[in-house]
Amino acid sequence: MSKTWLITGASSGLGRLMTERLLTRGDRVVATLRREGVLDELQQAHGERLLVLKLDLTDVAGIRAVTRQAFERMGRIDVVVSNAGYGLFGAAEELSDEQIDHQIATNLTGSIQLIRAVLPYLRDQGGGRIVQVSSEGGQKAYPNFSLYHATKWGIEGFVEATAQDVAPFGIDFIIVEPGPTATDFAAGLVRGTPMAVYDATPAGDVRRAVADGSFEIKGDAERTVDAMIAAADAAQPLIQPLVRLALGSSAYTGIKQALEARLRMLEAQRDVAFAADVD
């Protein structure tokens, strides 16, 4: 049975590839993007099965208007894919106030407001699934990506709590955590102003690795999208209201190491933690 999907950030990268895959198999897609005309070729090929809407995630009123239009036009949406976002690159003090505000408004606040906007419709239709595209960077951190990590760690916390809120309504979540993947993500990085004082630091090492291409990218975009679609196609509801899906060997290894290190740190503090209880 065909499904209907709402996908943000569908103009390029994983969002574009997912849109193409789903349309090819016969599903219906509401694709949102900031630049008009990018999906004209797909629109001509697939007609009414593709609804393209312009959306900037920093526009909260626009998020609500587009969500209303999508559900009114399609009637029912089975899967919402919160995919839009970008990376802000630079050590924390290299970034401008405006860059920080825009990163948070897009990746974090925009994703939160999208989820808030779709929940009433999913609840009224008896359930649905929300796929939040995060990153391995939602559970670990690299130098030079502090604000990007802040948004990904933040949206994962929001989703984990919200999944518990809405599970009784048949709404569940998948957090997708890809490792570095061969998309145009790097080309879309917004960069701070480099400071020479960081040249001999881990931030400088990462900056040079990205610049010279030695920053390792193992993830395959097509295989990543196939795994995302397969997870979203799984029977509803999920066994639990939230599933985290690490994609790529880099994501699996990096997240595992980060979690193990945090667990060791926690276990070492057991006596201190328990001593803080009321007698």
Catalytic residue (one of 82, 134, 135, 146): 134
Closest-CA residue to 63 (of 11, 7, 131, 114): 114
Per the residue annotation, which of 111, 148, 198, 250 is the catalytic one?
148
> Quick check: 118 and 130 in contact, CB under 8 A?
yes
Cβ neighbours for 269, distance < 8 A, ≥ 6 positions apart:
none
* Annotation marks residue 54 as catalytic: no
Q: Are the beta carbons of 73 and 51 closer than 8 angstroms? A: yes
Produce one character per residue of 186-207: b if its CB has 16 or more CB atoms within 10 Å, e if not. Answer: eeebbebebeeebeeeebbbbb
Question: Is 148 annotated as catalytic?
Answer: yes
SS3 103: helix
CA–CA gap between residue 66 and residue 17 (Å, rounded)? 21
Question: Catalytic: which of 140, 152, 198, 250?
Answer: 152
What is the distance between the alpha carbons of residues 115 and 131, in angstroms, rounded to a whole number? 10
Length in residues, the chain:
279
Strand 128-133, strand 79-82: pairing: parallel
Catalytic residues: 134, 148, 152
